[in-house]
Chains A and B, each alone.
Chain A
């Protein structure tokens, strides 16, 4: 098991934004976390990573605590946050070099730049990249340490169709090689393209989880999109 979370809650003052959530992830599995803005997706991911205060019975990434063993854990875990920013004057190759020296072992970044179609941008300033290119760079950096598990927060928000399809293909190749992925998304097509399992959050609770077929079945709808809309609506009225 690459990830195990047991009864994790996150609160801001009186407000509980993640309420006793448990889930786990097997090697090579892709889990999609769905939910509207404010459903608790990002809080959940950040709490699992140990950078947001939370209470829980257990959080184990690759069998270790991300708080007490953060050095060992993050050698093998990559993270792409919702928005990645870089210093103003930093070039693409500097961003890659900087990231490479943080880990004991990494993939050669020139190879990854080619894989992600950024080979011509090596000397460009990161801030001059397009939204899609910046996002690809962020995913590239998450994959740089040859991780066993990656967290991708809103992977393709702001990307055009072609760029999204390309990124999905790249990630499917990684998955085939055994990479486990946790991703949060607003897009049903993305989830259908990548995820083995989904988990729908609303108000800090899991309202439905399972394989895509299971979720569709459970909702009694014809597609994941319809299932998602029905499930999130019902809960709201109830």
Chain B
């Protein structure tokens, strides 16, 4: 009951904030509509391949907005305002509040996932070669890795300004250069080699392989990268987290 009520209130607060609705839900759906329209056009010679490649990329936009932007900003905000400190002197743990917040961000991301998927399926007749169940599992795995990075940013930044700076850097960096919006394939090879170091580049690579029914050997490196994100961020977050 405690967790349910806390989550409900956090959901109302996030909803009133509008940024998650705009950047996490509406923006990815608009990108999906645009990409579907542009890439399904016969003027685009490689249109169909790019269209197939774009779905696993566009579904990650909401992961970035919620996990790498929304989550660290809220953690830093709640610490800065001493809200976590107030929770420390109650029978509940401040961690319960942060979990409720993370759940709300996760639900927003899943709503966006459903919206983008519906656009691809019903507006542009997208067909996935690989298994959708496996794709969903991979999506959740990538989400976990990105949320870990977001939680790490929220854990180590000294104040809200820093959260904003590092959150924006991670968000825009990966939004633009990991293939989430601008198709990775159109970057020059040399830049591709550089951008491959962005964690989400590997995440999107994994999702692409799974959606195209690729072989496991091509997915090993992305899987290891995602696991490294979870473990390294998790370890550093626990080590450096401050309640106040």
What is A's interface to B at a CB cutoff of 8 Å? 49, 51, 70-72, 74-75, 77, 79, 81, 83-90, 94, 97-99, 101-104
Number of A-B contacts (CB under 8 A): 62
Q: Does residue B91 face the partner (Cβ distance < 8 Å to A)?
A: yes
Contact assessment for A89 and B16 in the assembled complex, using a CB-CB cutoff below 8 Å: yes
Stretch with Cβ within 8 A of A (4 or more), from B75-83, B109-117, B168-176: B75-83
Q: For A87, what are the chain B residues with a Cβ–Cβ distance below 8 Å? A: 13, 77-78, 81, 83
Q: Does residue B17 face the partner (Cβ distance < 8 Å to A)?
A: yes
Query: Chain B interface mostly helix, strand, loop or mixed?
Result: helix
In the bound complex, how far is the Cα of B139 from the Cα of A108, in angstroms?
44
Residue among A88, A90, A94, A104 making CB contact with B91, cutoff 8 Å: A104
Contact assessment for B6 and A85 in the assembled complex, using a CB-CB cutoff below 8 Å: no
Residue of B nearest to A72 (CB): B91
Q: For A85, what are the chain B residues with a Cβ–Cβ distance below 8 Å? A: 81-83
Q: Does residue B125 face the partner (Cβ distance < 8 Å to A)?
A: no
In the bound complex, how far is the Cα of B12 from the Cα of A139, in angstroms?
24
**Residues B83-101 near A (CB distance < 8 A):** 83, 85-92
Contact assessment for B9 and A71 in the assembled complex, using a CB-CB cutoff below 8 Å: no
In the bound complex, how far is the Cα of B137 from the Cα of A195, in angstroms?
61
Contact assessment for A74 and B90 in the assembled complex, using a CB-CB cutoff below 8 Å: yes
Q: For B13, what are the chain A residues with a Cβ–Cβ distance below 8 Å? A: 87-90, 94
Q: Does residue B49 face the partner (Cβ distance < 8 Å to A)?
A: no
Residue of A nearest to B1 (CB): A101
Q: For B89, what are the chain A residues with a Cβ–Cβ distance below 8 Å? A: 49, 51, 74, 77, 79
Q: For B17, what are the chain A residues with a Cβ–Cβ distance below 8 Å? A: 88-89
Q: Per-position contact with A for B62-80: 1 when CB-CB < 8 Å, else 0?
A: 0000000000000001100
Please give the distance in Å from A175's CB to the nearest CB on chain B: 21
Q: Per-position contact with A for B1-12: 1 when CB-CB < 8 Å, else 0?
A: 110011001001
Residue of B nearest to A79 (CB): B89
In the bound complex, how far is the Cα of B92 from the Cα of A103, in angstroms?
8
In the bound complex, how far is the Cα of B2 from the Cα of A104, in angstroms?
10
Q: For B91, what are the chain A residues with a Cβ–Cβ distance below 8 Å? A: 70-72, 74-75, 102-104
Residue of B nearest to A49 (CB): B89
Q: For A86, what are the chain B residues with a Cβ–Cβ distance below 8 Å? A: 81, 83
Q: For A77, what are the chain B residues with a Cβ–Cβ distance below 8 Å? A: 89
Residue of B nearest to A78 (CB): B89
Please give the distance in Å from B232's CB to the nearest CB on chain A: 27
Q: For B6, what are the chain A residues with a Cβ–Cβ distance below 8 Å? A: 98, 101
Query: Mind listing 14 A-B residue pairs with CB under 8 Å?
Result: A51-B89, A51-B244, A71-B91, A75-B91, A79-B86, A85-B82, A87-B13, A87-B77, A88-B13, A88-B17, A89-B12, A98-B5, A98-B9, A102-B2
Contact assessment for A51 and B88 in the assembled complex, using a CB-CB cutoff below 8 Å: yes
Closest 4 CB pairs of A and B: A85-B81, A89-B16, A101-B5, A102-B92
Residue of A nearest to B78 (CB): A87
Given pairs A86-B83, A94-B9, 20 additional interface contacts (CB within 8 A): A49-B89, A51-B243, A70-B91, A71-B91, A74-B91, A79-B89, A81-B82, A87-B78, A88-B13, A89-B12, A89-B13, A94-B12, A94-B13, A97-B9, A98-B5, A98-B6, A98-B9, A101-B5, A102-B90, A103-B91
Contact assessment for A81 and B86 in the assembled complex, using a CB-CB cutoff below 8 Å: yes
Please give the distance in Å from A6's CB to the nearest CB on chain B: 21
In the bound complex, how far is the Cα of B223 from the Cα of A94, in angstroms?
42
